[in-house]
Amino acid sequence: MSTSVPSTNSSSHGGVFQNAFYIGINLQNILYGIQLGLYFETIATLWSVRRENKTSYVFYTVFSSIMLFLVTVWISTEAFFTEKMWILDSSYPSGPDQYWKDNSSVWYMDLGTTAAVLLQLVTDALMIYRCRIIWNSYRAIVIPIILWLASLVLGVLVDWTSSSPGGDFFAGISSQLGFAYYTVGVVLNSILTCMICYRIVRHGKEVQRCLGREYATLYFSVVMLIIESVLPYTVSGVAWLVTLGMGSKTSIVFCDLHIMMMCISPQMLILRVSLGRAWVDNTFRKPGSTFKFSLGSGTTRTFDTNGAQMHVQTSSNVYVSDGKV
């Protein structure tokens, strides 16, 4: 893959870049409305029912609010910049392409870039946390944590170089650092998505083997896999990285899409948590009961699920612990 990116001269940007920028702005405005709906639905759900673990719900409330704040900063700075480029300073010498080249590192655009970098870091941190929960192991997240730390360092460098006087994310050293930064981020997202999907599907197969297909259907749900693995975020990141690496003038569209998915995908996951449908810390550790099923054949099958021994016989009578149901 080529690591070239669109240059900032007018002949390279031309109408294609400006139209792509316009489409990206409108697309992210639509997605921002979706994000607002998900956010308020999540907050209402989190606090509408009394929960045993208040700490986790406070955490998810604060986390959701931070994500909303950061994406709002990003959208606001882009909206103000494009208003000046296309409307207030429409008579700028050499047009909007030259305006972009001369002003893309203005202070409020630097603020937007910082917000985007922070949003990606907190979203990736949430994915690592969820991976730890689903795998129920800290060893499983060692490599993701190393990649997250690398993206932190690269993110700081990208923010610093692009905010320097005359800096431009799409040109010079900023473009090279930016490509490296998003490469690490997409690799991290891909690893986490694959790990989460694999763990859910593997557990579903264990449930199917022990209890039958009827009880394992939930684990093979497409909706569950998409939301739990934050798949839209990963896919949009791949699309953004590919177009950026190809030097496509339309890459800005996928950049805006990817940044919005940084917020929407984890927000859908948090909403699922608030509804009590997501995996939690004790999904594999819930205390179990002893079940016995019998048709009189006397054949017993034993297996271990969630740390509880379950004795299963082909049976029309069901016994829970010492009592017959």
- pLDDT one-digit tens code per residue, 125-154: 999 999 998 888 899 999 999 999 999 999
CA distances to 299, 301, 311 from 315, rounded to whole Å, are: 9, 11, 11
Check the CA dihedral 254-259-262-264 and report its sign: negative
Q: Give 230-275 as a DSSP string.
A: THHHHHHHHHHHHHHHHT-TTHHHHHHHHHHHHHHHHHHHHHHHHT
**pLDDT of amino acid 226:** 86
Pairing of strands 300-305, 308-313: antiparallel
Rg (CA), the chain: 25
Q: Comparing 94 with 1, which gets the higher pLDDT?
A: 94
Cβ burial, residue 106 (10 Å; 0-12/13-18/19+): middle
Res 118 pLDDT > 90: yes
- Position 311 scores a pLDDT of 40
Half-sphere exposure of 124 (CA within 13 A, CB side): 32
The rounded mean pLDDT for the chain is 79
Of 28-37, 78-87, 233-242, 271-280, minimum mean pLDDT range: 271-280
List, in sequence order, every residue forming a beta bridge with 318; answer none if it has no partner.
293
- State mean pLDDT over 6-25: 69
Using CA atoms, how far apart are residues 274 and 276, in angstroms rounded to an integer?
Answer: 5
Mean pLDDT of 147-171: 79
> Which of helix, strand or coil describes residue 82?
helix
DSSP letters for 133-151: HHHT-SGGGHHHHHHHHHH
H helix or E strand, kind and range, residue 324: strand 323-324
Q: How far apart are CA 122 and CA 313, in angstroms?
A: 48
233: confidence class by pLDDT, cuts 50, 70, 90: very high
Q: What are the pLDDT digits (tens) for 236-284?
A: 999 999 998 888 888 889 999 999 999 999 999 999 888 877 766 665 5
pTM passes above 0.85: no
Count the helix, strand and coil residues of the chain and give each as a percent rounded to the nearest 5: 70, 5, 20
C-alpha span between 256 and 94 (Å, rounded):
26
Handedness of CA 131, 133, 136, 141 (dihedral sign): positive
| SS3 label, residue 291 | strand
What six digits make up the tokens of 236?
Answer: 């949009």
pLDDT at 137: 86
Of 242 and 50, the one with more pLDDT: 242
pLDDT in tens, 202-232: 877 777 777 777 666 776 777 788 888 889 9
The answer to whether the beta carbons of residues 117 and 162 sit under 8 Å apart is no
Q: Across residues 112-123, what is the average pLDDT?
A: 92
Name the residue among 165, 125, 131, 129 with its Cα closest to residue 149: 125
Percent of the chain with pLDDT over 90: 36
